[in-house]
Amino acid sequence: MTKARILIIEDEADIREILEYALTREGFEVSTCAAGVAGLSEARRVMPQLVLLDLMLPGLDGLEICRRLKQDESTAGISVVMVTAKGDEADVVLGLGLGADDYIVKPFSPKEVVARVRAVLRRSATVIDRHDRQKTVVHGELTIDPSRHRVLVETREVPLTATEFRILHYLASKPGRVLSRDQILTAALGPNPMVLDRSVDVHVRSIRKKLDEKRDMIETVRGVGYRFCEA
Ligand code: CA
């Protein structure tokens, strides 16, 4: 098996070195860049499987790099993990909306970064990123079947409204991935829904109540949105 290539775009030298050391030690092929424009051209040259992308960079910032990577068909398949400072939830939400896969918050432990990187690489290898509205999703005892508009916990039928159903199906079809309220609403109601982001919270509360003992499968990600857990 060939080593996964990872590009680190980070202007702080000590953080860059910590990341490079941790990931190289794990057997990844790592390249680094200290600035935005150079990072973007390096990504196009190296074609890594994953970019660890600092959001606060001189020149081109991380969100803009993410946008350009995801807009360009040749680089859109590169996974992006954002590296953010505490309190940057608004940027995280923007980044997820642009197609970033995950994020880590400074200060982080190298162990956490390695785990996150592995999880994203694993997911991008197995999950087809297009949201398939007609595909039945099964996680353990939970079955979500769009063709019959039916959700089962083992044999118990869970009565969801149409919107709740679409929200649960969307979350469950992207297990382990943090999804912003905006992404969830867009998936459930179409682009530019004329409702507030916070209405997702109301729907999720209701879904959890109906899922009952499986309620913990929907995890709240503070300040950002929700994540579906497979366990
Ligand atoms: Ca920085």
Residue range 42-82, pLDDT digits in tens: 999 988 999 999 999 988 999 999 999 988 888 888 899 99
Which of 17, 6, 64 has its CA nearest to residue 40?
64
| Distance in Å, CA 152 to ligand 1 centroid | 46
Contacts of 186 (CB under 8 A, 6+ apart): 192, 193
Output the CA 12–ligand 1 centroid distance in Å: 6
> Looking at domain 134-228, does it have CATH number 1.10.10.10?
yes
How sure is the predictor about 128, in pLDDT bands with cuts at 50, 70 and 90? very low
Q: Looking at the chain, which residues constitute the CATH 1.10.10.10 domain(s)?
A: 134-228
Statement: residue 145 has pLDDT above 70: yes
Asked whether the predicted pLDDT for residue 147 surpasses 90, the reply is: no
For residue 127, what pLDDT is reported?
A: 45
Q: At a CB cut-off of 8 Å and minimum separation 6, what does 215 contact?
A: 208, 209
Q: How far is the CA of 85 from the centre of ligand 1 (A)?
A: 9
> How far does the centroid of ligand 1 lie from the alpha carbon of residue 61, in Å?
9
pLDDT at residue 131, rounded to an integer? 45
Mean pLDDT in the chain?
A: 87
Instruction: Provide the CATH topology of domain 5-131.
Output: Rossmann fold (3.40.50)
Q: What is the pLDDT of residue 135?
A: 79
Looking at residue 2, its pLDDT comes to 59
DSSP 177: -
